[in-house]
Amino acid sequence: AQSVTQPDIHITVSEGASLELRCNYSYGATPYLFWYVQSPGQGLQLLLKYFSGDTLVQGIKGFEAEFKRSQSSFNLRKPSVHWSDAAEYFCAVARSNDYKLSFGAGTTVTVRA
Amino acid sequence: DAGVIQSPRHEVTEMGQEVTLRCKPISGHNSLFWYRQTMMRGLELLIYFNNNVPIDDSGMPEDRFSAKMPNASFSTLKIQPSEPRDSAVYFCASKLIGDEQYFGPGTRLTVT
C-alpha cells in the first residue's frame, strides 16, 4: 500500500522568502504524486502533479515540485512567498491517476509580514 | 461551472440522530469520492464510485456509515446513528477518468 509522510507539521516563513515543504512517499512502483492546498474553510485545490517525464514539475501560483526517486521525495517549493500562500498543504500519492489518493498529514504554512 | 456542490455546509446534530450529507459532482464527471478530515486522522478516503458503482468502501468506518450514488449527478453519505466521534469535515470530490480530483467546500459535522 502507498503512504505519504510530511515531516513538518507547521512552517513559518517571512513574506518574500523562499518556501520548501517536504514530502516522502512509500510505494513499490512509480507513484503518481500530487500537491494540494487548502485555505481555511475551503476544499482542496490541486497545485501540481507528477506522473512521469521531467522530474521538475511546474504548478499554479508559482509553485514547483521535484520528484527524486532515489530519495522517495516530492518536495514543494516556491521562490518568494506571498501572504496569500498561508494555508495547509497536502502531499498525496496514488498508484495511478484514477486510483484513490493517500494523503499526508499536511503542513500548515504561516506567512509573517 | 459551479464546481462540486455539497450540502449542508454545516450540520449540528445530537448523538443518535441520522445525518445525511449530499454531494452534486461536476457535470460529466464519472468518479466520485467521499473523504473525512479530522485533526487526529487527517484526510481519509471513505468510499469512491466509478460510473455510480461503489468501487472501494474499505475506508467506511463501520456499518453506521452508508453511501449511495443513485445517478451521475447526486450522492449521499448517511450516518445512522451518529456519534460524537463522527464530528469532522466531510469532503466530496469528483473527476473525469484521467483528470484530477475536484473537491467541494466540505460539510462540517458536529455531533453533540
Amino acid at residue number A57: V
pLDDT over threshold 70, residue A91: yes
Mean pLDDT in residue range A5-32 = 94
pLDDT at B1: 65
Burial class (CB in 10 A: 0-12, 13-18, 19+), B56: middle
Closest alpha carbon to B23 in B42, B9, B13, B11: B9
pLDDT at B61: 87
Query: Are residues B33 and A42, on separate chains, in Cβ contact within 8 Å?
Result: no
Interface test with B, best of A98, A99, A101, A103 (most B CBs within 10 A): A98
- Provide the residue-wise pLDDT of chain B in tens; the chain has 112 residues: 689 999 999 999 999 999 999 999 999 999 999 999 998 889 999 999 999 999 999 999 889 999 999 999 999 999 999 999 999 999 999 999 888 899 999 999 999 9
pLDDT at A66: 97
A93: cell is 500519492
Mean pLDDT in residue range A77-101 = 91
Percent of chain A with pLDDT over 90: 77
Contacts of B98 in chain A (CB under 8 A): 97-98
CA–CA min distance A43, chain B (Å): 4
pLDDT at A21: 98
Phi, psi of A83 (to 5 degrees): -60, -30
CA–CA min distance B82, chain A (Å): 23
pLDDT at A16: 97
**Pick from B42, B98, B106: which is nearest to A97 by CB?**
B98
Q: Hunting for cell 449540528 — which residue is that? A: B12
Rounded Cα distance, A8 and A37, in Å? 15
**Pick from A41, A43, A49: which is nearest to B91 by CB?**
A43
pLDDT over threshold 90, residue A1: no
Query: What is residue A61's three-state secondary structure?
Result: helix
Q: Hunting for cell 470530490 — which residue is that? A: B93
Count contacts between A and B (CB, < 8 Å): 41
Query: Are residues B98 and A98, on separate chains, in Cβ contact within 8 Å?
Result: yes
Interface test with B, best of A101, A102, A107 (most B CBs within 10 A): A101
Would an 8 Å CB–CB cutoff place A56 in contact with chain B? no
CA–CA min distance A45, chain B (Å): 7
Would an 8 Å CB–CB cutoff place A97 in contact with chain B? yes
